[in-house]
Chains A and B, each alone.
Chain A
Amino acid sequence: KAGVTQTPRYLIKTRGQQVTLSCSPISGHRSVSWYQQTPGQGLQFLFEYFSETQRNKGNFPGRFSGRQFSNSRSEMNVSTLELGDSALYLCASSLAVEGAPNQPQHFGDGTRLSIL
């Protein structure tokens, strides 16, 4: 079956712009988690969605937001881009059962965002 699909793979933006990244999970998976990966900070948790509801959020400013649609596809939006937002943004999907431990099992290849 198809894996996790993230689009676009690469994106170049300038400071002050906004960007929307997309993640299509594996069919049937209800949980989507987003992570930011940078050389300096490593992998940092952004947020996780389950059945269209944000269950948890990491320590990122309000410029970072997301949503999940009824088909479990998720989008992440970053407004007023800063140079420090340059990173690889990864999403992960999991089957997830409400009340059971989340286990990000299948990752996409990420979106490489570069801010000029």
Chain B
Amino acid sequence: AQSVTQPDIHITVSEGASLELRCNYSYGATPYLFWYVQSPGQGLQLLLKYFSGDTLVQGIKGFEAEFKRSQSSFNLRKPSVHWSDAAEYFCAVGVASYDKVIFGPGTSLSVIP
């Protein structure tokens, strides 16, 4: 069965430091991959997505992610974190039937001023 894991439940970084959030998936075919961010009391916002092509994907708010097929990973990165980036981050995989997206458990990010 398809699954998504995010090994880090919670991460704390200092403002201005770099960030990498890990995501691993289990899926037999080429997946469609997404990263979302959720601020408290709000819905999810799509940061970026990978369907095909260049494995380094640029998103909004200065985020990028790299698809590594050999490692079944799709890690999210940002070179310099801002205090406003504190939120919950979800990795998700779209399955072959195209109409179902499975979410990982999420990583909570705290930013120290």
Judge whether B99 and A103 touch: CB under 8 Å: no
With A90-B43, A107-B43, A107-B44 as given contacts, are A102 and B101 in contact (CB-CB < 8 Å)? yes
Q: How many residues of A contact B (CB 8 A)?
A: 27
CB distance from B8 to the nearest CB of A (A): 14
Q: Is B34 an interface residue (CB 8 A)?
A: yes
The prevalent SS among residues of A at the interface is strand
Give how many B residues have a beta carbon under 8 Å from the other chain's beta carbons: 23
Interface stretch, picked from B15-23, B66-74, B77-85, B102-110, is: B102-110
In the bound complex, how far is the Cα of B107 from the Cα of A115, in angstroms? Answer: 27
Decide yes or no whether B28 CB sits under 8 A from chain A. Answer: no
- B45 in contact with A107 (CB, 8 Å): yes
The interface of chain B, by Cβ under 8 A from chain A, is: 32, 34, 36, 41-46, 49, 51, 90, 94, 97-106
The interface of chain A, by Cβ under 8 A from chain B, is: 4, 31, 33, 35, 42-45, 48, 50, 55-56, 58, 90, 92, 99-110
